Amino acid sequence: KAGVTQTPRYLIKTRGQQVTLSCSPISGHRSVSWYQQTPGQGLQFLFEYFSETQRNKGNFPGRFSGRQFSNSRSEMNVSTLELGDSALYLCASSLSHSYEQYFGPGTRLTVT
Amino acid sequence: AQKVTQAQTEISVVEKEDVTLDCVYETRDTTYYLFWYKQPPSGELVFLIRRNSFDEQNEISGRYSWNFQKSTSSFNFTITASQVVDSAVYFCALSEHQMTTDSWGKLQFGAGTQVVVTP
């Protein structure tokens, strides 16, 4: 069974731009969560989606948004990029919201 | 407030030595889940183990074992006979139930412990 896939793997953007990251969960998994990893703040939860509904949201500004499609694929969007948004963005999927999460390889975003 | 504390920043061992990673968590819930993940240099988080709060039985899985003690809010993880491939950052994580949305999907991670295994 294929694992979680994330595209693109690497991205370089300029301050003020916006970016969309994509995540395809493991087949059959309906829950998708997003995390941001930075050297200073570590791994921080962004949001969780289940059956196209956002079930949980972390403490991030409204510039960070996401959505989930009927096939469980998910996207997250960051608008008006700031230098501090440079990070590894990890997507994780699970069968349901109470099962272990399996992570993708991440998208490395660099904001210049 | 930090809910998961991994006090060890880095542990260096020689191959075949045992490595124990400490994890202390904080929660008011009676039902919760605890996890260990491994992050090798490639960056992908690899799921290792999950434990629910009602299951304090300590187990061994291959070279991995864990010690869950609710009385001290600790969930320690041991790698026996370490190998160079075990070199990675290891994260302990906590999942609590979000009642308003019936969600367990928010993992709260510790800062991680870098394990360096040299030949």
Q: In sequence order, what DSSP letters do the residues of B15-79 get, joined into one string? A: TT--EEE--EE--S-SSEEEEEEEE-TT---EEEEEEETT-----EETTEEEEEEGGGTEEEEEE
Question: What pLDDT, on a 0 to 100 scale, did the predictor assign at position B87?
Answer: 97
**A16 contact partners, CB below 8 Å, separation of at least 6:** A80, A81
Residue A97: pLDDT band by 50, 70, 90 thresholds?
low
Per-residue pLDDT at B50:
87
Q: Which two tokens stand for residue B82?
A: 């370490």
Nearest-angstrom CA–CA distance, A86 and A55: 25
Contact with chain A for residue B31, Cβ under 8 A? no
In terms of Cα–Cα distance, which of B39, A106, A47 is closest to B48?
A: B39
A48 and B102 within 8 Å at the Cβ level: the answer is no
The distance in angstroms from the start CA to the end CA of chain B is: 38
**Token couple for B34:** 């605890």
Q: What is the mean pLDDT of residues B103-109?
A: 89
Select the residue from A29, A55, A60 to test the B interface by mutation, using most B Cβ atoms within 10 A: A55
Q: Which residue pairs, CB below 8 angstroms and at least 24 apart, start in B97-104?
A: B97/B29, B97/B31, B97/B32, B98/A55, B98/A56, B101/A55, B101/A56, B102/A55, B102/A97, B103/A48, B103/A50, B103/A55, B103/A56, B103/A97, B104/A97, B104/A98, B104/B33
- Is B72 within 8 Å of chain A by CB? no
> In this predicted model, what pLDDT tens digit does every residue of B72-90 receive, in sequence order?
999 999 999 999 999 999 9
User: What does the pLDDT average to over A57-77?
Assistant: 96
| Residue A8 contacts residue A88 (beta carbons within 8 Å) | no
pLDDT at B99 over 90: no
Residue A94: how many other CB atoms lie within 10 Å: 23
Q: Are strands B46-52 and B32-39 parallel, antiparallel or unpaired?
A: antiparallel
Query: How large is the average pLDDT for residues A17-23?
Result: 98
A55 contacts B102? CB cut-off 8 A: yes
Residue B1 has pLDDT above 90, yes or no: no
Closest partner CB to B43 (pick from A31, A58, A106)? A106
Q: What mean pLDDT is predicted for residues B54-66?
A: 81
pLDDT, mean of residues A39-50: 94
Q: Which of A93, A63, A60 is nearest to A77 (CA)?
A: A63
- 3 state DSSP class of B11: strand
Checking if the pLDDT of B58 tops 80, the result is no
Using a CB–CB cutoff of 8 Å, tell me whether B90 touches chain A: no
Taking residues B26-39, what's their average pLDDT?
93
| Exposed/middle/buried for residue B72 (C-beta within 10 Å: 0-12, 13-18, 19+) | exposed
Q: Residue type at A99?
A: Y
Q: Which residue has the higher pLDDT, A9 or B105?
A: A9
The two structure tokens encoding residue A18 = 């916006």
Q: What is the pLDDT of residue A103?
A: 95
Q: What is the mean pLDDT of chain B?
A: 92
Query: What integer pLDDT is reported at residue A1 of this predicted model?
Result: 67
| Short-list B103, B35, B33, CA closest to A51 | B103
For residue B10, pLDDT over 70 is answered with yes
Q: Best residue in B9, B106, B113 to probe A by mutation, most A CBs within 10 Å?
A: B106
